[in-house]
Amino acid sequence: MEFTKLTDIANYIVSEGKGILAADESNPTCKKRFDTISVESSEENRRDYRELLFTSNGMRDNIGGVILFDETIRQKSASGATLVELILANGALPGIKVDKGLKPFRESEVETLTEGLDDLDERCSEYANLGAKFTKWRAVINIGDGMPTQECIDANMDALAQYAKIAQKNGMVPIVEPEILINGSHSIEDCYDATSRSIKSLFDYLNSYDVDITGTILKPNMVTPGLDSEHKATVKEVAEMTIRCLKESVPDELPGVAFLSGGQTEIESTEHLDMMNKIGGFPWKLSFSYGRALQQSALNAWLGKAENKVAAQAAFAHRAEMNKLASLGQWSADLEN
């Protein structure tokens, strides 16, 4: 697949209901996931697991892009092909996480600022040579007592915009991810407020650095109550408030919004996305960029055993297909059985 324009890459990734597989867990995060199935997080196990996903027949019609971690973009499969080649052969574009994680924001015990700008230009240039067509940078915003502060939001969105400019200079589409964490007992209104302030600030900074919005993908959280909130929201409330929040500040020319799952269950992530697309009335594609919500069933089916590979691939294929249908507003609960 050859692309000459950033906007063509971005549009390909979210074309025809396709979305993104986030498989860019850092090694410590991958260890956390593997611990839940009592599998050692060795380089070989990480490779085997990801190869299983990337070669599942759930890839071809449902996944337009795969986000990789530094280790994975350099890895070869057991057969000798690079994992990047396997992703391309299965119809998706390889992307790469380029942020370097979180550090405390101005000595705060909770608020963080995402790092990684210092040598970003050189790293992006290398990743482009390794075949990456897009990149991801995740900013993390907490809701809590007096939080998020506007200073923390602005510092993170400024860094996201600087990152986006550098990724585009190197010929790659930036995925800009301002994640408002779902952890906490906050209300859906609190999440709306923090999400709205973050996305507004993000597009102000993207404009001020002259980032090409037509060659950018937004990866936001959905607007939901905190996991420990006493007040649960209906699927319709989540869908309507998320659409309203995006409409406030996301420009029409953005090709796509690809949500993170952020701790929602597999079914919740699918159901909310489907409802938004059933409601409709927005100019961008609304799609998915799920990590846990695309991988949980596959991980549980795999259990680190070669003999479970086919079952794990089928579990992943099912979630990928369900989310594609959700991106088209064509999912229904009976399809899950």
Question: Residue 63 class from Cβ within 10 Å (0-12 exposed, 13-18 middle, 19+ buried)?
Answer: buried
Q: Which is nearer to ligand 13P, 28 or 146 (CB)?
A: 28
Site of tokens 């971005």: 10
Nearer to ligand 13P, 96 or 293 (CB): 293
Asked if omega into 94 is within 30° of 0 (cis), the reply is no
- Distance between CA atoms of 195 and 188, rounded to whole angstroms? 10
Run of H or E including 284: none
CB 263 within 8 A of CB 292: yes
Pick the stretch among 71-79, 107-115, 120-128, 257-265 that binds ligand 13P (CB under 6 A): 257-265
59 three-class SS? coil
Catalytic residue among 51, 177, 179, 271: 177
**Interacting span for ligand 13P (CB under 6 A) from 30-38, 48-56, 258-266, 325-333:** 258-266
Rule CB under 6 A: choose which of 88, 260, 275, 301 binds ligand 13P. 260
Site for ligand 13P in 271-330 (CB under 6 A): 290-293
How many angstroms separate the CA atoms of 82 and 126, rounded? 16
198 binds ligand 13P (CB under 6 A): no
- 215-244 footprint of ligand 13P as x/- string (CB under 6 A): ------------------------------
Q: Does residue 40 come out as left (phi exceeding 0), alpha (psi in the -120 to 50 range) or beta?
A: beta
Stretch that binds ligand 13P, among 56-64, 191-199, 227-235, 254-262 (CB under 6 A): 254-262
Q: Report if residue 72 touches ligand 13P, rule: CB under 6 A.
A: no
Pick the binder of ligand 13P from 123, 138, 285, 319 (CB under 6 A). 138
Q: How far apart are the first and last CA of the chain?
A: 35
Catalogue the active-site residues: 177, 219
Binding positions for ligand 13P, rule: CB under 6 A: 22, 138, 177, 260-262, 290-293
